[in-house]
Amino acid sequence: MSVPYIALTSSQHQLLAELVLSTLPSPAHEPESAVARGLSQHQMQSDASALLWMGLIAESKGILSVTLLGSVVYQRAAREDAENRLVAVAAFADALEAASHSEVDQRRISYALRQLAQGAITLDEAVGYLS
């Protein structure tokens, strides 16, 4: 079975990630659950409606849960993110090899590499830390 590519907004992805970990009360039933997650009730309700329509989550008795499709779509996005970070780490290694030792501040390499691998900075930012 091929996994469809579904583009999600950052807040939809955040809600889906929360639902992969645990069921949540519907924002219509418990508005404070949205606030506890850093979302407005309106935003969470909007995202939940969209994810319900896409078949990525289900609602039953005021409880939101992830569907099998939602879990697969989330895992695919997580895998793609990890692949992209690995590509960036390899490109960073290439940049290190290409740089002369006098241009590179050796003390900054591990920090830049760690931040890049965690997705906290971009490749350009990591290369910028080297000098």
Q: What distance in Å separates the CA atoms of residue 122 and residue 19, rounded to the nearest whole number? A: 28
Q: What is the pLDDT of residue 1?
A: 64
Model confidence, pTM: 0.78
Interval 21-79: pLDDT, tens: 999 998 888 878 777 777 778 888 999 999 999 999 999 999 999 999 999 999 999 99
Tokens representing 115 are 């931040």
pLDDT at 83: 96
Classify strands 57-60 and 63-66 as parallel, antiparallel or unpaired: antiparallel
Tell me the CA end-to-end span of the chain in Å, nearest whole number: 47
Residue 88 has pLDDT above 80, yes or no: yes
The pLDDT assigned to 8 comes to 92
| pLDDT, tens digit, 9 for 90 and up, residues 98-128 | 887 777 788 889 999 999 999 999 999 999 8
- Is the pLDDT at 131 greater than 80? The verdict is no
